[in-house]
Chains A and B, each alone.
Chain A
Amino acid sequence: MQEQFLADKAFEPFLAKLIAAGPVVGPVGKRSQFVFAPLRSPAEARLDYDVTILPPKKLFFPPAQDLVRFDGDKVEGCIEPVAMVVFGVHPYDVKALDMTDLLFKERNEDRNYLAHREAATLVAMTPQKASSRAFWGSIGTGVEPKGHDALLTKVPGGWIYEARTPKGTALLKHGDFASATKEQSSAARKAGLDAGRKCSANLKHPAAAVAHRMKTVFKDEKLWNGLAEDCFSCGSCNTVCPTCYCFDVQDRWNLDQKSGTRTRYWDACLAEDFSKVTLGANASENFRETKGERFRHRFMRKASYLNEKLGGPACVGCGRCSAACTADIADPVRVIDTIMGRPS
């Protein structure tokens, strides 16, 4: 599809029309940080954001999501997707959504996630800034971002809009677009290529070498216990991760004590009781008892177990875990450097 150009002065009216047509979620400022939130006006959109506190995953797989509702004996599903436009998603988050799409789809299709995802139109955006902990320019470089409906890139004097699906094309009617010139298109391509260099952190090791080394150091308890020594098992790294999708399921009663919901909540494999089962008579078995084991499990998931399925690591380099970690031990760049520097 021919790329389209939208002049700077036509941008706000475009976004205003999108907002008028239906819910649009985009990056907005929250104190000194950014979050994805429903846009009430184009002026709220902070398209110069570096990274959001939580990834856009929360729109399709919210921190708490009802799976089933009940009222007395009546039990019913509650998949109620919202047809929304998600605007300004950085490519690393697009990659992460593509991964969660695949993981929720494989073997048993999880409609509670997929229906929300399918109802959304994803407008990606070439990043204008990178957070200080981001390393998306150097991880999973062989994995192309896909699954988005359009890509928006800032160029001098305006924006280049590349529709990738019919849903992306459908948005064109809301703006005063013109066919992009060769110069404008090549400026967009250059901006795309340059974007990765905005990251100050860099992963020096190829994914395949890391995946292999992860397996060889699996039993190195000293390594993992050392890496996890300061871990508080708080699960902040899991909570902010765009590719983490583990959840707990809990039933909740409404005040009438008759009706309620079965709801899934984000869970964290770093939390102490994540793999714990009761055996009865006050006995229990924790299949991942130490913080070293739990820390290792997370890194195996990110750098090894899923690589074959996803075509690359299950980490997109957003740097959220590095920034969120209470003890500052979660930074994948540092952890992988330590592992790769270890004699095998």
Chain B
Amino acid sequence: MKGYCACGVADMAVKPDPGSKDKGPNLFLPRKADVLRAEQTTPYEKHFTLRLADQSQLEFQPGQILEVGLMGFGEIPIGLASSPTRKNTFDIVVRSVGRVSTAVNKLEAGDSLLVRGPLGNGFDLDKLRGRDILIVAGGIGLCPTRSLIQYILDRRKEFKRFILMYGTREPKMQLFLDDLAEWRKSKDIELHETVDRADPTWAGNVGVVTKLFNKVPIDPETRVVVCGPPIMFRYVISVLDSLWIPRENIYVDLERRMKCGVGKCGHCQINDKYVCVDGPVFSFAEVENLEEAP
């Protein structure tokens, strides 16, 4: 507390209380992670492959988040972008939008950063197993869902039909180009892509992601995962409603200002839910009656 205490208590002799030591970890103490690979995938996004500096395994579920940061800059919540089935390393994708993300995106292989987590609730895999799965991802929404995509591909037999709909504003905004190239050829995943605005390099679908539903028949028993910008949710949910997909079978991966990541600081609240600990993955049935949800 030294120096920052308005009440003057900090100016008094600090007497550490032995009884309160070692009772639990400091929730805000981060772990160091080394950057093994850093690739600028779009003008704004950088894809990092990381490993904990102490070589230990990061145990997590697809859909969980990390607080990623650099001391002196701050922390930002980032969804894990690789599957826990791929051991030893983990991936994140950071879009340069503010002070912390811009600083993180200057890092290259050989540098290191700090992480806290995994935090929050990921996808309930037991509810997805044995089902047809549809993932609808918009823009950077492909990053947290890539964790689930890889998971399903790595344990393909545990799931039935697997469809991915991916929409971006422009072709140059597409992420994970190597993955996309592989998925286009793969028989394990039905990939449908679209862009809002085409350019001369683009020969595929043009239009918002909901337009893809006109081309792809979806069974009402399908479990659906939606992740993208807030505006996208509204349109996708109404299409899913028209397909008679029950709302408890729709999962949304929400974005809010998850500052502390441990359910205290209050910034990510939707009504009485804390996105960082109650989510970021919710079934749509859980959040549809929350007035502050999208």
In contact, A280 and B26 (Cβ under 8 angstroms):
no
- Which residues of chain B come closer than 8 Å to A38, judged between CB atoms? 7-9, 11-12
Which residues in B have their C-beta under 8 angstroms from that of A103? 264
Q: Is B272 a contact of A305 with CB atoms below 8 Å? A: yes
Q: Decide: A277 near B255, CB < 8 A? Known: A36-B7, A82-B14.
A: yes
Contacts of B260 in A (CB 8 A): 247, 249, 264
- Which residues of chain A have C-beta atoms less than 8 A from B277's C-beta? 107-108
Contact A246 B266 (CB under 8 A): yes
Q: How far is the CB of A109 from chain B (nearest CB, A)?
A: 5
> Is the pair B264, A247 in contact by a Cβ cutoff of 8 Å?
yes
Q: Does A232 contact B (CB under 8 A)?
A: no
- CA of A274 to CA of B114 in the docked complex: distance in angstroms? 25
C-beta contact mask, B1-35 vs A, less than 8 Å → 1, else 0? 11011111111111111011101111111101000
Residues from chain A with Cβ under 8 Å of B74 in the complex: 249-251, 262
Q: Contact at A112–B28, with CB atoms within 8 Å?
A: yes
Contacts of B257 in A (CB 8 A): 275-277, 287
In whole angstroms, how far apart are the Cα atoms of A115 and B10 in the complex? 15
Please tell me which stretch of B94-102, B143-151, B157-165 contacts chain A, meaning at least 4 of its Cβ atoms lie within 8 angstroms of it: B94-102
Q: Do A65 and B4 have beta carbons less than 8 Å apart?
A: yes
Contact indicator A306/B272 (Cβ below 8 Å): yes
Q: How far is the CA of A281 from the CA of B42 in the complex (A)?
A: 13
Q: A284 vs B16: C-alpha distance in the bound complex, in angstroms?
A: 44
Which residues of chain B are within 8 angstroms of A277 by Cβ–Cβ distance?
255-257
- Complex: A66 Cα to B14 Cα, angstroms: 14
Interface string of A246-265 (1 = CB under 8 A from B): 11111101000000101110
Say if the beta carbon of B246 comes within 8 Å of chain A. no
- State the main secondary structure of chain B at its contact with A: loop
Known contacts A75-B30, A246-B267; A110/B262 CB under 8 A: yes
B interface, size bucket: 35 or more
Report the nearest A residue to B29, measured CB to CB: A77
Query: Taking the complex as formed, is B229 at the interface, i.e. its CB lies under 8 A from any CB of chain A?
Result: yes
Whether A115 contacts B23 by the Cβ 8 Å rule is yes
Cα distance A206–B106 in the bound complex, in angstroms: 56
With a cutoff of 8 Å between Cβ atoms, the chain A residues found around residue B265 in the complex are 246-249, 264, 267
Q: Are B264 and A108 in contact (CB under 8 A)?
A: yes
14 residue pairs bridging A and B, Cβ less than 8 Å apart? A58-B7, A70-B71, A75-B114, A77-B29, A107-B263, A108-B262, A111-B24, A111-B26, A112-B26, A112-B28, A116-B1, A119-B19, A278-B98, A280-B95
Residues of A within 8 A of B (CB): 22-23, 25, 35-38, 54, 58-59, 62-68, 70, 75-77, 79-84, 103-104, 106-112, 114-116, 118-119, 218-219, 245-251, 253, 260, 262-264, 267, 269, 274-281, 285, 287-288, 293, 297, 300-301, 304-306
**Supplied contacts A66-B2, A75-B114, 15 more A-B pairs, CB within 8 Å:** A22-B15, A23-B9, A62-B4, A65-B1, A75-B71, A82-B1, A82-B15, A108-B277, A110-B27, A112-B28, A114-B20, A119-B19, A249-B74, A267-B266, A281-B44
